[in-house]
Structure 1
């Protein structure tokens, strides 16, 4: 999910069309808007739908094929990042195979920290934030449903430090640049010489997300490691 500053003359329908989403999705992502025909220039707008989604990488980029999601992680992920209440990596693993839409409805645990209004095709930051909260690595006020928003919050947190891929531990937060915007997952280890990630990924046939392992060829924007 990305942020857009409303300009004079903008309409929700025009903004939705430009960003390949719908007015309904915009309304859900921006509960402060009560009237679809009344938006205020200068205000920020959350843009759902295409900005945080991704298509899993393939051996032939651009082929358009969608490989089956993996529930098998790296063979030897090594020591995981730990928070006061546990490892976000282990917390994420406990939800492998669940649809993000169903997970949000669960009482207690990760589901209770995920925000229900977030559309089911853009839950990557919602899920990672919730795992970090459950591990005690961030507070509720640091939760963010946009990739760049979560990235900014971690940059401001003295308990987190940016590290290179060579120093990454399972559970570290990895922000990726995708053709349509951004995606955020957690490092899970190395598999066949390539980084493996775990997160809420767009692997369902309808484009909605499921908790799964994935290897992606997208450029890494940042890797945040908890040092608290």
Structure 2
């Protein structure tokens, strides 16, 4: 999420308020070079607890639980069809290969998706970090387009001529789906349809301690955008 600095704000105070750390704030905001000096009116990227999928919210969240594989996910007639692919393969297939892994462990792996994920991102807010890494591994985005912020990643895809916004009904497995969750955001990838409901794969807050795990699930949040790779 983005936050406009108010008079009296400090990085340490904001880190405490949003459940993150000063170090994470510094890394998410390279324009800040002195942790003790921020300016009223400037905008900060907050890699905090609101930039995530938080299940259990009344009237929202997971519907029908998650599946451990793609076998039960089918497109409706004339629906999803084959997934998008980049020079390095399908981001959907890449994401599925990490099903069930905790984001905190995955981002410490030294190759593949884990190597492309930013280690500093807190374990409860890796949704954009994971999706970015899958897109990188598929060759659909460059390292410079990777972001741990949902809104920044959305903006990067909007500016990329290889991506275009489509309706959910036209989505293909691997398309990037950005959602609004309360005052925050969440990002996942479209995974097809099951029983007429859209399925999504991503780094979700499904562990009992609030941390994230790669899981496949149905969600009912307002969708901000669906980006489809056209390259």
Q: TM-score, normalised by structure 1?
A: 0.87
Gaps of 5+ in 1: none
User: 1:100 and 2:103 equivalent?
Assistant: yes
Instruction: For residue 48 of structure 1, report the CA deviation from its aligned partner.
Output: 2.4
- Partner of 2:164, secondary structure, is strand
CA distance in 1, matches of 2:62, 2:193: 23
- Would you say the 8 A contact 1:57–1:217 is kept in 2? no
Structure 2 distance, partners of 1:136, 1:173, is: 14
Please report the RMSD computed on the Cα atoms of aligned residues, expressed in angstroms. Answer: 2.4
CA distance in 1, matches of 2:63, 2:38: 37
Choose from 59, 62, 72 the match for 1:61. 59
Q: In structure 1, what is the Cα distance between the partners aligned to 2:206 and 2:64?
A: 8
Count of matched residue pairs: 222
Contact 2:189 2:201 in 1 (8 A): yes
Change (3 A) 1:65 1:42: closer
1:75 maps to what in 2? 73
CA distance in 2 between partners of 1:184 and 1:118 (Å) = 15
Pick from 201, 210, 215 the counterpart of residue 212 of structure 1: 215
CA distance in structure 2 between the partners assigned to 1:187 and 1:3 by the alignment: 25
Q: 1:127 and 2:127 equivalent?
A: no
For the residues of structure 2 that align with 1:140 and 1:34, how far apart are their CA atoms?
A: 22
Corresponding position: 1:30 with 2:26: yes
Q: Is residue 11 of structure 1 aligned with residue 10 of structure 2?
A: yes
Inter-partner Cα distance in structure 2 for 1:91 and 1:127: 11
Asked whether 1:21 is paired with 2:19, we answer yes
Instruction: Give the C-alpha shift of residue 160 in structure 1.
Output: 0.3
- Cα shift at 1:54: 1.9
TM-fit CA distance, 1:76 = 2.6
Match of 2:155 among 142, 152, 177: 152
Cα distance in 1, alignment partners of residues 7 and 155 from structure 2: 27
- In the alignment, is the contact (CA less than 8 A) between 1:176 and 1:220 conserved in 2? yes
Q: In the alignment, is residue 90 of structure 1 matched against residue 93 of structure 2? A: yes
* Shift, 1:116, TM fit: 0.4
Compute the displacement of 1:61 (Å): 1.7
- CA distance in structure 2 between the partners assigned to 1:65 and 1:7 by the alignment: 35
- Displacement of 1:108 in angstroms is 1.1
Mark the CA change 1:144 to 1:20 in structure 2 (over 3 Å): closer, same or farther: closer
Give the aligned partner of residue 161 of structure 1: 164
Query: Per-residue displacement from partner, 1:76-131 (whole Å, max 9, x unpaired)?
Result: 35311111110000000000000111111111100111000011100000000000
Deviation larger for 109-118 or 30-39: 30-39
SS at 1:182 equivalent: strand
CA drift of 1:16 comes to 4.1
TM, length-normalised to structure 2: 0.86
Displacement of 1:46: 2.5
- Distance in structure 2 (CA, Å) of the matches to 1:179 and 1:36: 29
Q: In 1, distance between residues paired with 2:148 and 2:69?
A: 26
